[in-house]
Chains A and B, each alone.
Chain A
């Protein structure tokens, strides 16, 4: 079937099987491999992308369901001149990653969280990241990155 959606601002249109998962569509059809597949069972959050601005686990969405929608992946966050967005920048500055596998999902989940709650408390961040697992258990600096990014967003407002 024909599936068309906007991915990082570009209209994508492809013939895919109805059973194609959004994460496989993004990685294998569109060619954006920044979104990782972790557990593949809606648990770990590594595959988190934004669907119409909200975080979703793309292993549990059909590409067909997202037809007509607006998808943002980790590749779509950096500014046009290549500078990192505030969440990415905060991850770099706060050393918010160890092995890096969960990082794209963490960054997308935090981007969604900060959109809904621009000034979260530490508890807000920890609860807001319940859907993202870090097998390095590097949560301390991930939470610090989210809080730092909220501060940066605040400074720029």
Chain B
């Protein structure tokens, strides 16, 4: 399968990428690792007129700890986050989740920022951002702003980036608390049919769901039940509340709602809740 024709330009800096985005508007798409965008282009589900390749901006590939936050450059590959000593020590759940994405080849190539900016409700990293209380740093023509992860995922494949903005960094509070991550897939490299992440933070227990609606989401009812003293198995029974899973060949709505309860229960147990 071959994508439709497009113009290709390699940006040598974030500023150049922003300039190109401002110039070409909706006709242009940023290309990082390409592991979300290229499959869509090969199926002709996306046909951008121009690709702006930012995949070689090495200054956006880093994992560092700063003022109590683990900061991950948007062009960090999943493999590099999974193996980062900083991430493993100060946000081990984030490193673990990165190491469960796709397969080794995908993790060598796919980027943190590309995966998150894609806004796929079935992807894994947004759940970690939500459960940990993370944020996203974006740069546009008017400078840099920080967006709370709760405000970033707007609707199905839609995020809070304006057409001229570039996601440059992802931040999560330092978090060494126990956690559990559960993902149901038919083949190891597939997207989650349903996924659940629970992590103990200084603000209580964060619980997030994968592929249970049009956007990555908190399991708010579970978090609330735990905060008011429910035990893990009782709290997990609330996992499907407020979700809007869709049905497909992998499972019905009812199946997904059931699986969410089971996986949240397991994730809470692993997290020692």
Q: Which residues of A contact B (CB under 8 A)?
A: 1, 17-21, 24, 40-43, 45, 48, 51, 54-57, 60-62, 64-65, 67-68, 109, 112-113, 127-128, 130-132
Known: A42-B105, A56-B109, A60-B34. 16 other contacts (CB 8 A): A18-B8, A40-B42, A45-B105, A48-B105, A54-B79, A54-B108, A54-B109, A55-B104, A57-B109, A60-B38, A62-B34, A62-B51, A64-B10, A68-B56, A112-B108, A131-B106
Q: How many residues of B contact A (CB 8 A)?
A: 30
Q: In the assembled complex, which residues on chain A have CB atoms less than 8 Å from the CB atom of B38?
A: 60-62
Is A18 within 8 A of B7, CB to CB? yes
Is A65 within 8 A of B55, CB to CB? yes
Q: Which residue on chain B has the smallest CB distance to residue A69?
A: B56
Please, how many angstroms separate the alpha-carbon atoms of A24 and B3 in the complex? 12
Q: A41-B39, A42-B106, A55-B104 are in contact. Are A130 and B188 (CB under 8 A)?
A: yes
Q: In the assembled complex, which residues on chain B have CB atoms less than 8 Å from the CB atom of A40?
A: 1, 42
Is B8 within 8 A of A21, CB to CB? no
Is A55 within 8 A of B105, CB to CB? yes
Q: Could you show 28 A-B contacts with beta carbons less than 8 Å apart?
A: A18-B6, A18-B7, A18-B51, A19-B4, A20-B2, A41-B1, A41-B39, A41-B42, A42-B102, A42-B105, A43-B187, A51-B108, A57-B105, A57-B106, A57-B109, A60-B34, A60-B35, A60-B38, A60-B39, A61-B38, A62-B8, A109-B105, A112-B108, A130-B103, A130-B188, A131-B106, A131-B188, A131-B189
A143 to B: closest C-beta gap in Å = 14
Is B108 within 8 A of A42, CB to CB? no
Name the residue in B7, B53, B189 with the highest tally of chain A Cβ atoms < 10 Å from its Cβ: B189
A-B contact number at CB 8 A: 85
Partner of A1, one of B8, B31, B39, B105: B8
Q: In the assembled complex, which residues on chain A have CB atoms less than 8 Å from the CB atom of B42?
A: 40-41
Q: In the assembled complex, which residues on chain A have CB atoms less than 8 Å from the CB atom of B5?
A: 17-19
Please, how many angstroms separate the alpha-carbon atoms of A45 and B79 in the complex? 17
Q: In the assembled complex, which residues on chain A have CB atoms less than 8 Å from the CB atom of B104?
A: 55, 109, 112-113, 128, 130-131
Please, how many angstroms separate the alpha-carbon atoms of A40 and B42 in the complex? 9
Is B109 within 8 A of A60, CB to CB? yes
Q: Which residue on chain B has the smallest CB distance to residue A20?
A: B2
Please, how many angstroms separate the alpha-carbon atoms of A19 and B105 in the complex? 21
Is B34 within 8 A of A65, CB to CB? yes
B183 to A: closest C-beta gap in Å = 13
A11 to B: closest C-beta gap in Å = 18
Q: In the assembled complex, which residues on chain A have CB atoms less than 8 Å from the CB atom of B34?
A: 60-62, 65
B75 to A: closest C-beta gap in Å = 13
- 1/0 per residue B1-36: CB within 8 Å of A? 111111110100000000000000000000100110
Q: Which residue on chain A has the smallest CB distance to residue B31?
A: A65
Please, how many angstroms separate the alpha-carbon atoms of A20 and B42 in the complex? 11
Is B106 within 8 A of A21, CB to CB? no
Please, how many angstroms separate the alpha-carbon atoms of A65 and B108 in the complex? 14
Please, how many angstroms separate the alpha-carbon atoms of A60 and B7 in the complex? 17
Q: In the assembled complex, which residues on chain B have CB atoms less than 8 Å from the CB atom of A68?
A: 56
Is B108 within 8 A of A55, CB to CB? yes
Please, how many angstroms separate the alpha-carbon atoms of A73 and B232 in the complex? 50
B189 to A: closest C-beta gap in Å = 5
Please, how many angstroms separate the alpha-carbon atoms of A127 and B103 in the complex? 8
Name the residue in A42, A56, A128 with the highest tally of chain B Cβ atoms < 10 Å from its Cβ: A42
